[in-house]
Structure 1
Amino acid sequence: MKILKKIFKVFLALILLLVLSLLIIVAVDNNNTSYLKVNNNPTAKNNSYIIKNVNVIPMHIDTVLTNKMVYVKEGVIQQIADHIKVENIEIFDGQQKYLSPGLIDMHVHIWDKYELGLYLSNGVTSVRNVWGMPMHLRFKELINKDEILAPNFYTTGPKLTGPEFIGDDNLNLISPEQAKENIKRYKEKGYDFIKTYYGLSEDIFDAVLEQTQASDMDIVAHPSQKVPYSYHFNPQIKSIEHAEDIVQQPLEYTLDTVKLKAVISNFSNHKNTHFCPTLTVYNNIYQMIIDDQILSSEGLAYMNPLLKEVDSKAQFDRWQNTKLRDENIETTIKKQHDFHLKIIKELNNADGVIICGTDAGIGVTLPGFSLHKELAFYKEAGLSNYEVLKTATINASKTHKIMNNLGSIEVGKTANFILTKDNPLSDLSTLQKPSLVFIRGRKLDRQQLNNFNQKAKNRSNLIATGLRYAENMLFEM
């Protein structure tokens, strides 16, 4: 008996040591992102000031307001005029540069705080996270308390799927009653939206629609193949994701322009349901096929190390192996990508509402940087620069009521800005390296933004990320 007690004590001591070690790993990772704390950024503390000599691109109208002054008080736009006089306030010179609304990425997967800095560095001042986990609620709390410099943060709960097992990262629903209870639970926890996913059958989908209406929660819909695509045009569903799902579902894996007309017509007739194409993540399949060195590229140094080791590698291996079996796969993927551009053009011509989303945080789709690639695809599809910018500003802000204070430079809106040397309505590429980024009125210069990039590059938080994902699996799924 004494031997068993000793063994038990040793075992217990090892467990406690393991738990302590894991807690230290998470604590160290949190400390390594302390550079994002507001208190550690003295130059970003002030959120009341006047910007003078600046050209304003308001984005709720297609114009440039030249040589204006903009008055911001406690992170909110108070006045835009030729002359503004306020006593005892900082005034800084916009040097005739261009002030645009901060960009919004409406489809991201966030894995750590480092990525929050990467988004800001790229002028992305708001994100919609669509794979909710407990860590995202903590991020959201820190941001809402104005404790860290990060984009405005909105998140769905965990992805809701039907009874069939699709993956351990989804909540499999087996009954309408279970669907309703989990939606209530996610509302109580503080998630902003519900994410519906692949495999939802009609009875469960109906229960989701009913309960989200009762709980006043919007739906972000990855289309379910268990119901017709047209089923997703419902007032509760504020956006439908992914251009490739149009090809896979209503077009039945064809590039059929006749069938596409019916889909475009539905979006045109249901303007409260926006379309989030995520062209970049699909095009990255093509990039993985043609570039067998992509995993060692400099850009991948900004990917979360766990995702790079697991998801990026798995996707790369999948498509490289597919190329060995199918010599036509490169052409097939490229043709479908080009068809996606046609979808964007046709939808825009029909006055459908397009919102910019990248699917950043999976595969080889980089946080922050990928948004500029996404915008370039919309431009390639034939949209004007103003129409392109609308997708990542005013269009995105109109998707959900809680985002209505974003997306344009107007009195009463949140002071999320980017300041660029050149006019993005003439040259979209100027958005890639903003001189200044303003987040809820707080001003970040290029040196700070470059530091955010450097801190995130080749980070070593694989185990910490794994622990946070394990937390999700244990307590949320």
Structure 2
Amino acid sequence: MNSIKVSLLISFCLLSFFAFSQKALVTNVHIVSMDGKEVLKNQAVYIVDGKIDQIIPLTAQTPRMYSENLIDGQGAYIFPGLAEFHAHLPVENDGNTQLQEESMWLYLANGVLRIRSMLGHPSHIDLRARVNSGETPGPRVYISGPSFNGNSVTSPQQAAKMVREQKEAGYDHLKIHPGVELDEMWEISKTAKELGIPFGGHVPLAVGIKNALGSGFKSIEHMDGYMEGLLPDNLEIDPATSGPFNLKLVGEVQMEKLPNLIQMALDQGTYIAPTLTLFDRYFGYIPADEFRQAPEMKYLPGFLIQQWVNAKKQMERAGMLDKEFVAPYLEFRRKLFMELHQSGVPMIMASDSPQVFNVPGFSIHHEIRLMSEAGMSNYEILKSGSVEPAKYMGEENDWGMIKKGMAADFVMVQNNPLEDLNTMQKPLGVMIRGQWISGEKLQAELDRIEKNHERKP
């Protein structure tokens, strides 16, 4: 586009800039578009009705752009924002939605602009509607229905009925938990495929990783089932002695079995939600009292933190989390994570929040740190939180990148996140649905939430 056309375009933008309130202009930014690794330097982004209408290079020939509502990035970077694809939204409590709404702000304040809630409740459907309408500020929300597990599923026929009911209720996804039998799993799979609703979750012991992949699990949460699939065929698992997630059996793993499982995942198009931070914090050997003191715990109710402490301490007292057992297991998980990733199995960013010592939004940055320490590149980490989740939902043409025609959902930070992952921990502001929320507003909401949960001296 020559300089005359650029001038005409910008003149048109300025003439019409605030004819409608749904328009916005962000200028003087560098764009980490995630459409490849190149950073677009010195750009302006023109937004109309929540979508990116134009991306305009700023050159010596570009006229000065000004508006009373102009968002001047002053050389900051913008990227598509992060997705937390294993969240556990709080449920409404007798009409009280405070914790739900606070969770929404905790995500936004950490640059999380989309979540997939993986343990559904009818109140989440109402929350999604309020967020989508703009009544409740928050990231865009996808909701799994109530879990399919050994208590909720009683037969293949009842399982199929449950799938149909959740689809009709408006859930976006199905969540599988332990206890589902193999014949029930096949019926869940068959019905879900007929209705076009994705499913994923834990791998029930009676199903196993090969059948889970074969049935069409869209996502394997926590990399569950892989270790069991790598154990000797004649090894009998005794859950009473094998520890959480059978971590005490890690010494029996036969890694030579992994390539076959990887090929199955690639053939099926299965994604992995690794939740490295859940295992580092909940099932790791670092004591519960140390995590109790983490600074972000001040944003959640004290009774919830105490529940988490009690749950972890119970395992500590039973000797399940001794370092001699846990350290080899965590090392195995890091190795498994990288083997899957480097083989091309797509990863979706997931931290399991709010769960034990994982505070909404903040836990994503713990997940990012662990992904980096395992060996994943900064670009691939960002991709797992943007491009891959969009593909997962079949919406890669709508979001996940900063491109013309896509959703105006992005985060502004001081430095280039492809070089500095820590910069994402302190957004200068977020653009969500074409609406700008400044860093000052995000901090004010954090301060308000902290005050709501002040501990008594």
Amino acid at match of 2:271: H
Q: How far off is 1:233 after superposition? A: 2.0
Equivalent of 2:255 in 238, 254, 257 = 257
Q: Is the 8 A contact 1:104 1:392 kept in 2?
A: yes
Q: Does 1:188 align with 2:173?
A: no
Partner in structure 2 of residue 277 of structure 1: 274
Change (3 A) 1:458 1:74: same
Equivalent of 2:147 in 149, 156, 159 = 159
CA distance in 2, matches of 1:143, 1:268: 35
Q: Is the 8 A contact 2:222 2:273 kept in 1?
A: yes
Deviates more, 1:86-95 or 1:198-207: 86-95
Amino acid at match of 1:313: V
CA distance in 1, matches of 2:312, 2:405: 46
CA distance in 2, matches of 1:237, 1:459: 40
Partner in structure 1 of residue 381 of structure 2: 388
CA distance in 2, matches of 1:298, 1:125: 22
**Deviations for 1:17-42, whole angstroms, at most 9, x for unmatched residues?**
xxxxxxxxxxxxxxxxxxxxxxxxxx
Q: Is the 8 A contact 2:285 2:322 kept in 1?
A: no
Q: Is the 8 A contact 2:210 2:229 kept in 1?
A: no
Q: What RMSD in Å do the two structures reach over aligned CA positions?
A: 2.5
Q: Does 1:320 align with 2:310?
A: no
Amino acid at match of 1:258: E
Change (3 A) 1:294 1:373: closer
Partner in structure 1 of residue 7 of structure 2: none
Gaps of 5+ in 2: 1-19, 91-99, 233-248
CA distance in 2, matches of 1:87, 1:432: 29
Change (3 A) 1:299 1:69: closer
CA distance in 2, matches of 1:458, 1:199: 41
Gaps of 5+ in 1: 1-44, 166-171, 462-477
**Deviations for 1:287-309, whole angstroms, at most 9, x for unmatched residues?**
56435343354332223455334
What's the TM-score, normalizing by structure 1?
A: 0.79
Change (3 A) 1:115 1:304: farther
Secondary structure of 2:163's aligned partner: helix
CA distance in 1, matches of 2:433, 2:178: 36
Amino acid at match of 2:266: S
Q: How far off is 1:411 after superposition? A: 1.6
Change (3 A) 1:425 1:410: same
Q: How far off is 1:335 after superposition? A: 1.9
Change (3 A) 1:140 1:457: same
Number of equivalences: 404
Q: Does 1:57 align with 2:32?
A: yes
Q: How far off is 1:88 after superposition? A: 8.0
Equivalent of 2:287 in 261, 275, 290 = 290
CA distance in 2, matches of 1:46, 1:103: 26
Q: How far off is 1:57 after superposition? A: 0.6
Secondary structure of 2:180's aligned partner: coil
CA distance in 1, matches of 2:50, 2:43: 18
Q: How far off is 1:234 after superposition? A: 4.5
Amino acid at match of 1:81: I
CA distance in 1, matches of 2:39, 2:217: 34
Q: Does 1:94 align with 2:73?
A: yes
Equivalent of 2:105 in 117, 123, 126 = 117
CA distance in 1, matches of 2:284, 2:189: 37
Partner in structure 2 of residue 226 of structure 1: 206
Change (3 A) 1:432 1:222: same
Q: Is the 8 A contact 2:202 2:224 kept in 1?
A: no
What's the TM-score, normalizing by structure 2?
A: 0.82
CA distance in 1, matches of 2:204, 2:284: 27
Partner in structure 2 of residue 15 of structure 1: none
Secondary structure of 1:454's aligned partner: helix
Q: How far off is 1:460 after superposition? A: 5.4
Partner in structure 2 of residue 428 of structure 1: 421
Q: How far off is 1:354 after superposition? A: 0.8
**Deviations for 1:373-428, whole angstroms, at most 9, x for unmatched residues?**
11111111111110111111101111012575221111221111111110000011
CA distance in 2, matches of 1:122, 1:91: 23
Partner in structure 2 of residue 353 of structure 1: 346
Equivalent of 1:449 in 437, 442, 448 = 442
Q: How far off is 1:220 after superposition? A: 2.2
Change (3 A) 1:148 1:335: same
Secondary structure of 2:359's aligned partner: coil
**Deviations for 1:322-360, whole angstroms, at most 9, x for unmatched residues?**
33xx6x822321221122111121122211111110011
Q: Is the 8 A contact 2:81 2:112 kept in 1?
A: yes
Q: How far off is 1:276 after superposition? A: 0.6
Partner in structure 1 of residue 324 of structure 2: 331
Q: Is the 8 A contact 1:288 1:294 kept in 2?
A: no
**Deviations for 1:72-101, whole angstroms, at most 9, x for unmatched residues?**
111111111316899989433221111100
CA distance in 2, matches of 1:249, 1:314: 31
Partner in structure 1 of residue 43 of structure 2: 68
Q: How far off is 1:116 after superposition? A: 0.7
Query: Sequence identity of aligned pairs in percent?
Result: 28
CA distance in 2, matches of 1:226, 1:340: 22
Equivalent of 1:214 in 190, 194, 198 = 194
Amino acid at match of 2:381: V
Partner in structure 2 of residue 77 of structure 1: 52
Q: Is the 8 A contact 1:437 1:444 kept in 2?
A: yes
Partner in structure 2 of residue 268 of structure 1: 266
